[in-house]
Amino acid sequence: MTSRRELANAVRALAMDAVEAAKSGHPGMPMGMADIAEVLWNDFLKYNPGNPKWPNRDRFVLSNGHGSMLQYALLHLTGFELPMAQLKRFRQLHSKTAGHPEASETPGVETTTGPLGQGLANSVGFALAEKLLAEHFNRPGHAIVDHHTFVFMGDGCLMEGVSHEVASLAGTWKLGKLVAIYDDNNISIDGEVEGWFTDDTPKRFEAYGWNVIRGVDGHDSEAVKKAIAAATAQHEKPTLICCKTIIGFGAPHKQGKEESHGAPLGKDEVAAARDALDWRHPPFEIPEDIYAAWDKKKVGAEREQQWNEAFAKYAAAYPELAAEFRRRMAGELPADWARQSQGYVDKVQADGPDVASRKASQMALDAFGPLLPEMIGGSADLAGSNLTMWKGSRSVTGPDGNYVHYGVREFGMSAIANGLALHGGFIPYDGTFLVFSDYARNAVRMSALIPAHSIHVYTHDSIGLGEDGPTHQPVEHLASLRLIPNNRVWRPCDAVESAVAWKEAIEHRRGPSCLIFSRQTLKHQQRTAQQLADIKRGAYVLHDPADTKFKAILIATGSEIELAMEAARTLAQQNVPVRVVSMPCNEVFDAQLLEYREGVLPGWCRARVAVEAASADFWRKYVGLDGEVIGMSTFGASAPAGALFEHFGFTVANVVDAVKRVTG
């Protein structure tokens, strides 16, 4: 009979061997948490290695993602499509075993982790998604949504401020199927944590409203099993299980020390650990009896089949709900979405409202929200300013909720939204002022890297917000967000572009979108049918001179489009014909075929001026060395918007002069 310790030692051995082969990695945490992981994955976690995306699986998140070999070893041993050859290529180019777990690369990995604390935040999103889906779809006798979210985390996760934000919300929302297991090993990279982490963690989580299980010996399998059983037996509160462990457990000279945290143990210490653990097998060799004890392919398939049979009964009783559940979990939009959403865009173009784009955003939500029950919104205590609530918004603390009041927690909000998106069944959007995207930026970066279908709404997009002054006026933020790979940043110029931006963000499933909206009113722009169709291509010709060839190109976004159009009219009167290009999303435009891009910004016209009330340097790649940029090179100031635009040079006269300079 294979013992629990032998099963855990298989994980330890694979972690040691893979890190040693790579000459890089973190063996300490996998060795320290192996006993806990063995109990969880063998006795509690509900999953099917043959179908990592089974809808009712438990979600497992490794928030302390530096210990990635723990998860890779578990996935390999239990039967996921992660062969030993991949473990041998740990941290190598194009392997499925990256230095930190990546959801896009490795079957069975639910979210990309590494930046500490964000895995915990994603887990809160997973647990909230489970709770809301269960409330919406389950019926008496038909619990088709019924699973837990388990997250491993360490001292570093708890030191990060985002852990405070999301743990507070998890307690407020009473996410009773969230179980966090704290690896309390007293070690971080700099050594023993007593000098910089003396929080009373159990009291802290009790204050958040969590169920806390203290003092569990993380190397006593029966104690761990008892704690997890107690956590999963109640659903009133999220649970924190505090497990005391020894980092690098089994490595006799380095266990309990920072030396085992983030570097290979070394050949001699690995050999000593094999002796100490009584693991008498060569590197990367697992005995068949241990493989057999770990294998979950058969039991996983049986669990999924049982759920499939239960779902079939549910579908017979509630066919419309079942069809809706399948559609949402598959990430498919409603059958009539394309027609109805385009109909709204056409209507806005015909109506031609002059509104702030933040109001245009709310109008789009009022139109699209009823079509998309999977939409779940929220704001970091700025709903009345961001206008992220629409007519059908209902708080998640009430029945059938679809709106989250996150409080002043921008980072936690965005990371939770990523979890909602990754769980499936939801399209999340969140909101704050653009200047406060700084607080959220790492979660936005992660939504692009994962990738997660999150929509980040940022209002008060420039110095145009006025009197609040430079602390609230974004300058570098647009450029910063645009620099994130795979992140679509839309800054629309009117209600029509705002509607298209929302439509495109909803349809774009391969990553996040940032929608940037104004506080001030923006003038409606007239368009032909072709111009309307070309908005979704990221940039298009909004204006060309009627009967003559243009001499220069004006490129603008957002509120500066109106300025560019006025300048074009003035220049026309002075016999300087110009083209005006609206570029609401440069990333989408850059992905267009060369023929289209050349049609909008032809290479022969080197006389170009870009106008945007934001950092100027971003636009150099579009205007070239011969062009000019009217933008910001300083912080803003506290004054009415009109005075600020004039003070910083966003005037018709300044644009006209710039065009004349580039045209010689």
Q: Binding site for Mg(2+), residues?
A: 155, 185, 187
- CA–CA gap between residue 148 and residue 178 (Å, rounded): 6
The order of strands in the sheet holding 178-184 is: 59-62, 149-154, 178-184, 239-244, 211-217
Strands 211-217 and 191-192, bridge-based pairing? unpaired
Nearest to 72 by CA among 25, 138, 121, 118: 25
Q: Cβ neighbours of residue 569 under 8 Å, at least 6 residues apart?
A: none
Residues 6+ apart with CB under 8 A from 344: 364, 367, 368, 499
On whether the CB atoms of residues 178 and 147 are closer than 8 A, the answer is no
Q: Where are the alpha helices (DSSP H) in 199-277?
A: 201-208, 221-233, 267-277
Nearby residues of 566 by Cβ (< 8 Å), 6 or more positions away: 652
- DSSP-assigned letter for residue 139: B
CA triple 428-449-433, angle to 5 deg: 50
Q: Where are the alpha helices (DSSP H) in 246-392?
A: 267-277, 288-294, 297-317, 319-330, 337-351, 357-368, 383-386
- Report, as residue numbers or ranges, the catalytic residues: 410
Cβ atoms 331, 485 nearer than 8 A? no
Q: What is the DSSP letter of 40?
A: I
- DSSP H helical segments within 390-491, as ranges? 410-423, 437-449, 477-482
DSSP letters for 181-209: EEEE-SEETTEEGGGT----HHHHHHHHT
Residue numbers in the known binding site are 26, 66, 114-116, 155-156, 185, 187, 261, 358, 385, 436, 460, 468, 472, 519
Distance CA 613, CA 605 (A): 24
Q: Are strands 455-459 and 513-516 parallel, antiparallel or unpaired?
A: parallel
In three-state secondary structure terms, 510 is coil
Question: Could you give the residue ranges of the DSSP H alpha helices within 591-662?
Answer: 594-600, 620-623, 641-647, 652-662
Of the chain, the end-to-end C-alpha distance in Å amounts to: 87
CA 413 to chain centre: 10
Amino acid, res. 47:
Y
Radius of gyration from C-alpha coordinates of the chain: 28
Q: Which residues are annotated as a binding site for thiamine diphosphate?
A: 66, 114-116, 156, 185, 261, 436
Please give the angle made by the CA atoms of 539, 421 and 297, to the nearest 5 degrees: 130
Phi, psi of 610 (to 5 degrees): -100, 140
Which residues sit in the known binding site for substrate? 26, 261, 358, 385, 460, 468, 472, 519
